Amino acid sequence: MALKKELSYSEAAVLAVQREMEADARVVVLGEDVGRGGIFGQYKGLQQTFGAERVIDTPISEAAIMGAGVGMALAGLRPVVEMRVVDFALCGMDELVNQAAKNRFMFGGQGRVPLVARMPGGIWDASAAQHSQSLEAWFAHLPGVVVVSPSTPQDNYGLLRAALQCGDPVVYIEHKTLWGLRGDVDEDIAVPLGQAARVREGNALTLVSWSRQMQVCAAACEALAAEGIAVDLIDLRTLWPWDRETVLSSCARTGRLLVVHEAVQAAGFGAEIAASAAEATGCRVARLGAPRIPVGYAPMLEAQSRIGTQAVVAAAKKLID
């Protein structure tokens, strides 16, 4: 029975968690302010439905939230661990990096840590250096975790359900400015982890991005199309494992790859994709990310960290020339 409705990115996330909590009594939510629905509404109504024992308000204790999530998972629960913003997840970094990600391996497979750590990322308007970071490359570098970054309500619904079913620790990065984005959500569409979406087809170049930057890239593709340049636009959706097959087959066909991300360009995840594509296909590669600066507060300072449509168009044209 197809249930299709228009939902916001945050409502889609609520629905995903609700469906998993209905299906599996082991799923619990823990984090700061989750009882009130989360600071972005991404848990709205869940405590009223499932009670305070399954949607657990916590003290401001990121290390304990993440660490308790590890202990809960080892003891048979499937926790959703809310970190508020990716910037604050750093307060629980040992618990993620040294505990959650390592547990299964270092104990020889005795334990499993099926937790989903939600940590909204990206520039949040006028929120400055400690509430606007894009740190996905840190987590993609970490053996033992899956890294997901959805760009649409449909994907947020499907990928969050897939993350909760996957059984490994998942770093789940929603974008802080996408919460109000609306779109159709079909509950019957499953979005598997590790599978990219081909959003536009074209032969002039391959453009890979994810999360909010997909909107910028889509606008850039429109502008390029107006000039007769047809772009193969790929939404990576999952950063680890990333969909090599979709990306590399596109690169082999177009001969050119541009990776665009909101994160700082230096040592960003775009470098991984670009290097892989160059190694595998010999295609021309280029990256476009933010300068290596903290995100500033004043509008003209914050703008220095943003990658706009014109910059994407210019980078694409330079690659084609």
Partner 1 sequence: MDSSIPGRAGEALYRVMVRIRAFENAAETASQGGVSAFGQQAAGAAKVRGPLHLSTGQEAVPAGVCAHLRTSDYLTSTHRGHGHTLAKGADLTRMMCELFGKATGFNGGKGGSMHIADFSVGMLGANGVVAAGLPIAVGAAHAQKLLKKGDDITVCFFGDGAINRGPFLEALNWARVYELPVLFVCEDNRWSATTASGPMTAGDGASARAASMDIAATQVDGNDVFAVHETAARLVGEVRVGGGPRLLHALTYRVKGHVSVDLAAYRDPAELAAALETDPIARARGHLLSTGIAAATLDAIENAARDEVDTALAVADAAPWPDASAAFTDVQTIGAGQWH
Catalytic residue set: 131
DSSP calls for 68-79: HHHHHHHTT-EE
Answer for the pair 284, 277: CB distance below 8 angstroms, yes or no: no
Phi then psi for 163, rounded to 5 degrees? -65, -40
Please name the amino acid found at residue 212: R
d(CA 62, CA 66): 6
Shortest Å distance, C-beta 94 to partner 1 = 6
In sequence order, the 6+-apart residues with CB closer than 8 A to the CB of 167 are 112, 114
Shortest Å distance, C-beta 97 to partner 1 = 10
Shortest Å distance, C-beta 28 to partner 1 = 7
The residue ranges that bind partner 1 (CB under 8 A) are 28, 53-54, 58-59, 61, 63-64, 66-77, 79, 94-95, 98-99, 103-111, 143-146, 166-169, 193-194, 240-241
Helix 9-23 / helix 153-165 crossing angle, nearest 10 deg: 30
Helix-, strand-, coil-residue percentages of the chain, each rounded to 5: 40, 20, 40
Residue closer to partner 1 (CB basis): 144 or 183: 144
Shortest Å distance, C-beta 11 to partner 1 = 27
